[in-house]
Amino acid sequence: MKRTAFFISDGTGITAESLGQSLLSQFENIEFTKRLRPYVDTIEKAHDMVQQINTAAEQDGVRPIIFDTVVNSDIRKVLATSNGYIVDIFSTFLAPLEMELGDGSSYSVGKSHSIQHNAHYKDRIDAVHFAMDNDDGARTLHYSEADVILVGVSRCGKTPTCLYMALKYGIRAANYPLTEEDMERLQLPPALREHKEKLFGLTIDAERLASIRHERRPNSRYASFAQCEFEVREVENLFRRENISNINSTHFSVEEISAKILVHKGIERRLK
């Protein structure tokens, strides 16, 4: 089965898309064409959205699924005239919360993702800068400021995980690639041993690692299965010998890896 899903908001659309994606992921037998439509903040834009929704309904032969976090009631009324099945996220959850809390919602656009109402925005940006400045072992002088230091072979997912933790949680994450030279010494580099309590290891299946490296340097020794198998084996031995907590990143998303790291290390997120 195929269905079209729209994520519509008069703000960034982050909330509508995040919740909508989570709900749709439970329906594995349906293929969804997903369309994010942020900043639908005028009546004219709402009418244009109705046309897009109705066109999708005609093409699919079934009505699209609409996840919306539109605050403006006039715009919501226009969207309600479309041939779509609407999941109004705000009205679904805000009304019961108003009753429970005994207070009315402000019904304001973009409250959770704006700079003005986000006291931790600077923490997020600072964490991203830290992750970029301390990527790939290029600099180790600021490891004392890190919340966590990811270690593992080259191309096992350290950099995207660090950036995600910085952007999503405000975590100061550095990463250091363990090289063939490190493996020959059979010990942690001095820069890492000094901060051993902050280390967390990422490992990966050799087949997957070879595939990733082949995209970067095809037909090279670096991308060969034999080299990948050797590096993964030696790094996993190092993790066991040094008692470094680690997970295999092969079958996990960056989001899952990041959450597991925070749980394993007992790190509290700065952005709440």
Judge whether 159 is annotated as a binding position: yes
Judge whether 11 is annotated as a binding position: no
Judge whether 13 is annotated as a binding position: no
Reported as type and span, the H/E element at residue 53 is: helix 43-60
* Inter-axis angle of helices 254-265 and 158-169, nearest 10: 70
Strand partners, 248: 203
Evaluate whether 87 touches 65 at the Cβ level (below 8 Å). Answer: yes
Judge whether 153 is annotated as a binding position: yes
Judge whether 157 is annotated as a binding position: yes
Judge whether 241 is annotated as a binding position: no
Judge whether 249 is annotated as a binding position: no
Judge whether 25 is annotated as a binding position: no
DSSP 8-state class, residue 269: P
Q: Which amino acid is at 128?
A: V
Closest alpha carbon to 225 in 202, 206, 205: 206
Tokens describing residue 254: 């960056």
Other Cβ atoms within 10 Å of 92 Cβ, number: 10
Binding residues, as ranges, are 152-159
Binding residues for ADP, as ranges, are 152-159
